[in-house]
Structure 1
Amino acid sequence: MSGKQTEAEEAMPKRFPITDYFLHYVGKSKMQLLFFLMFMLIFPFLGVFLREIGRIIESRKLENPSYPYPEYSDFLLALTTCGLLLLIMHTFKISLRGVARSAISKRYPVSQRNDRADRLLDRLFKGIYFMFSFGFGYYIAKDLDFFPPALGGKGSANYMFDGYPYQEKQPLLREYLMIQLGYHLKSLVIHLWSKPRNDFMEMLLHHFMTVFLISLAYMMNYVNMSILVLYTHDFADIFGCFVQTFVDTDRVYCTLTSYILLLITWFYTRIWVFPNELIRAACYESTTEIHGLWLLGGMLHFLLVLHVYWYYLFLKMGYKFLKTSHAEDIQHKIETH
């Protein structure tokens, strides 16, 4: 009987790998399915807007030919940054993989140590980058009139669209945006290239929206708003990366300290400041006519949903730690083989 069953199973056509992957990582999780539907929902709106963006940009250049409007050639800096970061990160991981592997807690089986060491180095590299981008962003924006006190400035987010679309060109601001775009392009490339994990769809949605938002905002000259959004995100990301750096080691106090700082900074910047300062000023109180703000605003609200969902995951991780005394990254799991 078992022989007949085996023959029957072998005779059955196998599904395509992409089907197996979808069922495994999306079909078994309601949240991943929700993120997949959100991802698919974006595309029709993108198509509608992208048909008009070229015409809008050309009309603005003709209307004010003396203004240094953003150019597509500016994206060369983003592509160069992406390539350099990929090279630096590859060298970083090769050089420190042995040290990282020895830092992984002995509670994990040998079969997982390489994966966990790679994750440790990946998050450490990201944490270092976010420290740089946060400091660079503050240096550029701290004295600008649209940088609000909630983020360490002296101005008001309500001024982010003053003079739009021909706002005064601020020193290093556009270069900052292209460097940030290069970093997020690097993250998207690595995400698509890496072995899929349980958070694949939500991270794909996050990386895709971030790359698109920065690119769209740059070409539509939403540069003031862009630095506010990116700066708001980078602060909490520093501690998020350090939590994920230490979580697989025996450095419990480092993990716990980073975790507490993550909860504080994430709630303040992403759940309080992001909607109450930035989304409010851009989407609900701005009196400036801004073409495409409906799409940009919709994607900002999608990001806010992700912020709340991830905060829930952080709290869930903390609860599990209190219950079991074992810290684990449940968002980006390493599978046991």
Structure 2
Amino acid sequence: MVETGFYWSLLLSSAFDVKRSDFRELVIHHVVTIGLLWLSWAINMVRVGTLVLLSHDISDILLAAGKLFRHGRTWVKTTNVLFVLFLISWILLRLGYFPFVVLRTALLDAPTFIQPSYRWQNIFQRPFVPRIILAMLLCLQVLHLFWTFLIARTVVKTVTAGQAEDVRSDSEDDDRTESKKKD
């Protein structure tokens, strides 16, 4: 319930935040996460919901800590260490653990927690709710791949430029850039 409230606050506050190039993807992520949290609780797939939260929160904590130290501007080494830890956790958890453990668990093991005799041998003849959960989990995986591409661009930019920069553009920065070009 706490995590659901947290994601509701992120979704609502995103309307007032600076719009970045991945704004739509971020909103989709928050909506899907809220849906997964609610459905996992409603149909007793709490174990899968917990695995999803754990696989996401570790990377999110490291990313938030790195951003916090980066804004301090005097903690360069700490920021770099946190970014490397974030990168490692992202790859291991969101590109490894999430698809190969969480998705597999949701597909093969979780249905037995809903009803012991339940099997997904022909998924398209089964109830709608498990299919929507799988669709939302797959949506998260697609978002993970999208953000991995952005992270890879940040890593390349960091290695070539020597300083980590957010490759997502702010809409305000885009507007200022366009008005400078017009002048």
Q: TM-score, normalised by structure 2?
A: 0.78
Match of 1:204 among 9, 19, 27: 27
Match of 1:315 among 131, 134, 152: 152
Amino acid at match of 1:193: F
Larger relative helix fraction: 2
Higher RCO, Cα 8 Å, sep 6+ = 2
Corresponding residue for 2:135?
298
Give the match's secondary structure for 1:193: coil
CA contact (8 A) 1:263 1:311 kept: no
Corresponding residue for 2:3?
180
1:213, CA displacement in angstroms?
A: 1.2
Match of 1:236 among 31, 48, 59: 59
CA contact (8 A) 1:239 1:258 kept: yes
Corresponding residue for 1:215?
38
Aligned length: 160
CA contact (8 A) 1:247 1:327 kept: no
Corresponding residue for 1:190?
13
Amino acid at match of 1:300: L
Gaps of 5+ in 1: 1-177
Give the whole-Å Cα distance in 1 for the aligned partners of 2:26 and 2:169: 10
Amino acid at match of 1:275: P
Give the whole-Å Cα distance in 2 for the aligned partners of 1:320 and 1:230: 30
CA contact (8 A) 1:244 1:329 kept: no
1:286, CA displacement in angstroms?
A: 5.5
Corresponding residue for 2:88?
264
CA contact (8 A) 2:20 2:171 kept: yes
Give the whole-Å Cα distance in 1 for the aligned partners of 2:172 and 2:76: 22
Give the whole-Å Cα distance in 2 for the aligned partners of 1:188 and 1:300: 18
User: If you compute each CA radius of gyration, which structure gives the higher value, 1 or 2?
Assistant: 1
Give the whole-Å Cα distance in 2 for the aligned partners of 1:310 and 1:302: 12
Give the whole-Å Cα distance in 1 for the aligned partners of 2:21 and 2:74: 24
Corresponding residue for 2:69?
246
1:296, CA displacement in angstroms?
A: 0.4
Percent identical: 29
Amino acid at match of 2:100: N
1:316, CA displacement in angstroms?
A: 1.1
Report whether the alignment pairs 1:277 with 2:83: no
1:180-210 deviations in Å (ceiling 9; x for gaps): 1011111001012334222211111111111
Give the whole-Å Cα distance in 1 for the aligned partners of 2:109 and 2:47: 16
C-alpha spacing 1:294/1:271, structure 2 compared with 1 (3 Å): same
Give the whole-Å Cα distance in 1 for the aligned partners of 2:49 and 2:110: 15
1:327, CA displacement in angstroms?
A: 1.7
1:72-111 equivalences under 5 Å are none
Give the whole-Å Cα distance in 2 for the aligned partners of 1:280 and 1:242: 30
RMSD: 2.0
CA contact (8 A) 2:158 2:164 kept: yes
Gaps of 5+ in 2: 113-117, 120-126, 177-183
CA contact (8 A) 2:62 2:82 kept: yes
Q: TM-score, normalised by structure 1?
A: 0.44
CA contact (8 A) 1:233 1:270 kept: yes
Give the match's secondary structure for 2:21: coil
